[in-house]
Chain A
Amino acid sequence: MFKTDTDLMQNTVTVTLDGKSVSLPSGLSVAAALFGIGETISRISTTSRKPCSPHCLMGVCFECLMEIDGVQRQACLTEVRDGMVINRYLNGNKGEVE
């Protein structure tokens, strides 16, 4: 969906994404960083059961909600940090996390 025009991965941080260790470009929001590595799905909607993707990128739509360090946050308003633990529950295993 998006490609980069600068070398995004010049400076990176290491996070745990859905249980796997992943490098993300530093200095960006979690939402932008995930787009940067080609991850466009943010969660599965608890109401429609369909995949969600960030829509407004400015903190209004809440499509980018994900569990970041144990608390559900808007990924577009949270800057990536080394050691961050991000869970999107794309298999729906956690059930009702919004």
Chain B
Amino acid sequence: MSHHDVIVIGAGPAGLSASACLAEMGLNVLTLDEQTRIGGQIYRHMEAASQDRRNLLGDDYTDGLQLADRFRKSGATYKSGATVWQAEPNGTLCFSHQGQSEQVKANYVIAATGAMERPVPIPGWTLPGVMGAGAANNLFKEAGLNPSGKIVLAGSGPLLLLEASLLIKKGTNIAAILETTPLIPPGPAIPRAPKALMRADFLWKGVSMLREIKKASIPHYKGATQLRAIGENRVEAVGAMHANKKLHIEADLLLTHFGVIPNTHIFRQIGCKMVWKADQRYWHPLCDEWGHTNCERIFAAGDGAKVSGALAAQYKGELAALEVAHCLGIIPQYERDALAEPIQKNLKHDHWPRPFVDAIYAPNPKDMSFDDDTVVCRCENVTVRDLRKLVQEGVRELNEVKVVSRSGMGPCQGRMCGPALAEVIAAELNITPDQTGRLNIRPPLKPVPLKEIGEMSLHMEPTEGKNWLLDKKSAGKKGA
């Protein structure tokens, strides 16, 4: 079957709820996820997790199980390890699964491709032993692996502290926490505080996280700058400046986290209109309140549309599904609105603390002043110095930067270097990052062996290549 009512890309909270909602209505839903198990990042490996692990990770993790159950019962066709590598505004897409590629079509596509940790280059960030805090979290959820040796956490954002408190719960020794967040909250945070107070549960979580960290007597530095990973072939120490003093902390593992940004590649490859969120310094697809992008057949749901967390992703997935059902003529507008109302209420409630948290942890351009030697494009080994030289030679726009320096041409296709490229070029030209353009994203979204491409099955419109009248007649004759 190569034509579906809806194709949902991603099996995280948004993808799972969108798929379930539409499949429950009897629609032909194909859910494609490049991971081997459902759950996305936050609910990674939830179905296989032991009771001990579930207890340790708490409600924020086990909330996903209900969603998983609903998805499994809904009747959506699920393909795991399926990587979408090209998508078009008309709902056609190509994906690779079990060594074969095929082109399929859907009336609507809901891209719930989630978010990633914001990649912020620091000197030494390519050394083995430097990884994202989320990465360590993933290894625990997937394999029960725990960091060992001297561990340093550095960066900014609630997830950094969340990871710290989780490690403490597991009895892991943390050598230091280096927060780049300033000690005194920035101005914009203050007016947002009252709304945050409406969510006492959320604030309580934050406060108890901080208490755990304090109780464990971990050196916790706020307002750290000039973060760097030091070592020859692996990380050996972490350096920083704090209160005008130089810090040098021995480390076997440096876990960094600088916030979360949407994975935008698929939307850019399709050609969706993108919007720059200045306070959080990231691009996201332009959508309405249902997640409808400017491309009629393309919806965005979850953190991929805008970063708001797991519950919000689940709600947004459901809302996108309701609107798709409405667009397909399955439910009338008043029913869509009636079903949407409680979800929209939940979404609003979930959203209250976010502006406050976002403001406290807003990325500061000053944090992104880079040393000449820092590698920006990891794949092609392009440094800040190389980029600054290009600006001297007249290069102004990111795609020109790419063409001349090869930044963004390596396997990750600009996922890890895109944001920083914009920051470096913008700083040199004294403009804002969005004014430097965006790297053109082309297929394939992920590498595919040529053999698969050469042998792939292309989608044929049902009426293509056939004459229904003559075919019917000749079929009739054959039967006679």
Contact = CB atoms under 8 A, between A and B. Distances in A.
Q: CB atoms of A and B under 8 A apart anywhere in the complex? A: yes
Interface of A: 1-6, 8, 25, 27-29, 32-33, 35-36, 40-41, 45, 47-48, 50-63, 65, 71-72, 74, 77-79, 98
A60 B48 contact: no
A65 B413 CA distance: 14
A88 to B, nearest CB: 13
A62 B379 contact: yes
A53 B129 contact: yes
B311 interface: no
Given A1-B129, A60-B263, 20 more contacts: A2-B146, A3-B145, A3-B146, A32-B142, A32-B145, A40-B128, A40-B129, A47-B381, A48-B126, A50-B233, A52-B126, A55-B135, A57-B142, A60-B412, A62-B379, A63-B378, A77-B34, A77-B83, A78-B81, A79-B36
A41 B263 CA distance: 26
A60 B264 CA distance: 12
B143 A4 contact: yes
Contacts of A72: 447
**Chain A interface, >50% SS class:** loop
Interface in B379-418: 379-381, 410-412, 415-416
A48 B381 contact: yes
B77 interface: no
Contacts of B253: 1
Contacts of A8: 143-145
B344 interface: no
Interface residues of B, number: 50
Contacts of B126: 45, 48, 50, 52
Given A29-B36, A79-B81, A55 B132 contact: yes
B134 A54 contact: no
B145 A77 contact: no
Contacts of B447: 72
A2 B36 contact: no
A46 to B, nearest CB: 9
A28 B233 contact: no
Contacts of A79: 36, 81
A48 B375 contact: yes
B144 A5 contact: yes
A89 B25 CA distance: 51
B278 interface: no
B252 A1 contact: yes
A45 B142 contact: no
Contacts of B381: 45, 47-48
A40 B446 CA distance: 23
Instruction: Give 9 nearest A-B pairs by CB, closest first.
Output: A53-B128, A57-B135, A47-B381, A62-B411, A3-B148, A2-B145, A57-B138, A48-B381, A32-B143
Contact of A60 (B36, B81, B128, B416): B416
Given A1-B253, A51-B233, A77-B35, A61 B143 contact: no
Contact of B148 (A1, A45, A47, A65): A1
A1 B149 contact: yes
B186 to A, nearest CB: 28
Most buried by B among A6, A35, A48, A57: A57
A74 B96 CA distance: 14
Nearest to B148: A3
Contact of B128 (A4, A41, A74, A77): A41
A19 B126 CA distance: 27
Contact of A35 (B145, B252, B446): B145
Most buried by B among A25, A32, A35, A54: A32
Contacts of B234: 40, 51, 53
Nearest to A41: B128
Contacts of B41: 58
A5 B146 contact: yes
Contact of A61 (B50, B136, B146, B378): B378
A73 to B, nearest CB: 8
Nearest to A61: B416
B143 A56 contact: no
Contacts of A98: 410-411
A65 B416 CA distance: 15
Given A33-B143, A35-B143, A50-B233, A58 B134 contact: yes
A49 to B, nearest CB: 9
B147 interface: yes
